[in-house]
Amino acid sequence: MKNIVVFTGAGVSAESGLGTFRDSDGLWEKYRVEDVCTHEAWLRNPQLCVDFYNARRRDTLSAQPNAAHYAITRLQEAIPSTRIITQNIDDLHERAGSKDVVHLHGEITKLRSENDELSTVPIQGWEQHYGERHPDGSLLRPYIVFFGEGVPYFPQACSIASEADILVVIGTSLNVYPAASLLQYAPISSTIYVVDPGMPEFGIYRDRIQHLRKKASEGVPDLVDMLIKRYG
């Protein structure tokens, strides 16, 4: 059975109505990264950070998985060796039925200890109240990997990518590091599919990539049908 690794970015969630960060009309056009997504920002004005991620959480809870999310779940059900890695902080993969999703940049539906980056608790509803504390006594903060912080699950993601026979990249500009460097961990013998309506920077991988220039909700179901027919 083929080892298939699916790596998703903001373009998948955007089709469910969730705002992206880097597009021309994205969230970073409306907010300064330095004000809401660094540890320094958290120390300087934690209430602004809490408010920002409360709004993101409210948007997430009102969004629904789209055809791409459901197709990825269908692939995992047909080929159980399929692994999913995402840059997205929403829970749309899980709500579509996908299992064991590796979230590189955190999860908006959880809060974390200020003392331990991997010690998390679920949040009920969309609203965090600043001042709430983790069982270890520290302040709770959004479970988000801020700019400048380490990506704790990146080594696991690299290990998964290193075993890929097929790597499927969906809806990411491949501009956010270290996540974008996952391609270099895929074996040279692996096949790489990219589903994106634009033209991501393929660089040295250009000759290895099969590019489906479609939005995720159209291209992913088509690709999944092909993969299941061929390898399922």
Contact between 114 and 140 under an 8 Å Cβ cutoff? The reply is yes
Strands 106-113 and 120-122: antiparallel
Backbone angles phi, psi at 39, to 5 degrees: -65, -30
Active site residue 39: no
Contacts of 183 (CB under 8 A, 6+ apart): 161, 167, 169, 174, 192, 205
Cis ω for the linkage preceding 178 (within 30 of 0): yes
- Given the structure tokens 């399929």, which residue do they identify? 82
Half-sphere exposure for 22 (CA within 13 Å, toward CB): 11
- Given the structure tokens 């779940």, which residue do they identify? 73
What does the alpha-carbon distance between residue 110 and residue 214 come to, in Å, rounded to a whole number? 32
Active-site residue, selected from the candidate residues 69, 103, 105, 134? 105
What does the alpha-carbon distance between residue 17 and residue 34 come to, in Å, rounded to a whole number? 25
What does the alpha-carbon distance between residue 146 and residue 41 come to, in Å, rounded to a whole number? 9
Active site residues: 105
